[in-house]
Amino acid sequence: MSINWFPGHMAKARREVEENLKKVDVVIEILDARIPDSSHNPMMDEITKHKPRVVVLNKVDMADPKATDRWLSKFRSKGKYPVALDGRHNQIIKKIEPLAVKATADDFNRMEEKGIRRRAIRAMIIGIPNVGKSTVINNIAKKKGAKTGNTPGVTKQQQWIKAGQQMELLDTPGILWPKFEDEATGKKLALTGAIKDTVVPLDEVAIFGMQYLLEWDPERFNAFYNISVSQDDDIVTVFDAIGKSRGMKASGNEINYEAVTNRVIHDIRNGKIGRYTFDKVDTQ
Ligand code: G4P
């Protein structure tokens, strides 16, 4: 589901998150491991204030493993508690819970010193749409297929889910808006499916993806489509090569550029060509 993030929606989303934050000890921020910076809500720090934060780099199965290691180090160096995982796999709570325990240790120790009896750690999940919030929540709750929805402001009865041995998780995630900072960020969000297809022109998204692969992994790109192109080729040549190779013709034997566009986006978005991380650590 796509949402147009008008200022009213943003204000509502922010209010909802702030309301729920009062109930929790720790925030579990879900990011897309392929775009850990672009999938981070720009006001996350301001909104969550000083709450301890576990950072989940989700969809790690589609990200470049070396880049993921670099991102994990970077988050650790900033005092966050990061973990990379595939939210569809069982047992993810075993990776998340120990980090939540570490992240909240100081707060709970202080409470104990004041004589407050230890209770379960309360957590909530926050992230922009389509990063895998529902997948992670349903997985922890052992529910199948319940989509938590991407629209802020749809109130429903909230419940606490037992999450591991020492934790309780709010079953409704906080949904924040994606970055609207610059064109490249928009294209990365579209390429990974974090924003759906109407926001950024699809041909531009496909071109961005092709150029990325031609720069970083030309051999695999060529092998995947059974073509022979390079970074120096005109982008139309690349479209033509893929169209010819895949038999994507429109009437009059012309290349069907729309079909090529959709195919390339689909292949990159779903990790068919390879595992890529589009946000580089060093440029942050
Ligand atoms: P959200 O609540 O944050 O909006 O995201 P959601 O859980 O709905 O996940 C979005 C899509 O990402 C889903 O695909 C889901 O299966 C997929 N997904 C979630 N976690 C992972 C992961 O770790 N690895 C991979 N490869 N995929 C993951 P979908 O049902 O096909 O939805 P869509 O493609 O129609 O959005």
CATH for 168: 3.40.50.300
Report CA torsion sign: 177, 182, 183, 189. Answer: negative
**104 plus 205 within the same structural domain:** no
* Model pLDDT, residue 6: 87
Q: Cα of 132 to ligand 1 centre, how many Å?
A: 5
Say if 192 falls within a structural domain: no
Nearest CA to ligand 1 atom 4: 130
Measuring CA to CA, which residue among 101, 98, 105 is closest to residue 83? Answer: 98
pLDDT at 197: 60
pLDDT, residue 49, reads: 84
Residue whose Cα lies nearest atom 16 of ligand 1: it is 135
Query: Residue 281 domain-assigned?
Result: no
- 211 and 168 within one domain: no
Domain coverage including residue 208 = 201-269
pLDDT of amino acid 104: 96
Is residue 91 located within the same domain as residue 222?
no
Q: Does residue 1 lie within any of the structural domains?
A: no
Residues of the chain with pLDDT below 70 are 1-3, 144-156, 197, 283-284
Q: Is residue 207 one of the residues assigned to a domain?
A: yes
Residues 210 and 164 in one domain: no
Q: Are 269 and 192 in contact (CB under 8 A)?
A: yes
The residue written with tokens 């595939």 in the block is 86
Task: Note the pLDDT of residue 1.
Answer: 45
For residue 31, report the distance from its CA to the centre of ligand 1, in Å.
12
What is the spatial distance between Cα 209 and Cα 239, in angstroms, rounded to a whole number? 12
75 shares its domain with 12: yes
Q: How far apart are the C-alpha atoms of 229 and 221, rounded to whole Å?
A: 9
Same domain, 167 and 207: no
Q: What is the CATH number of the domain that holds 210?
A: 1.10.1580.10
Note whether residue 15 is domain-resident: yes
Q: Residue 130: what pLDDT?
A: 95
Whether 189 is covered by a domain: the verdict is: no
What is the count of structural domains for the chain? 2
Pocket test for ligand 1, best of 130, 133, 266 (most atoms within 8 A of CB): 130
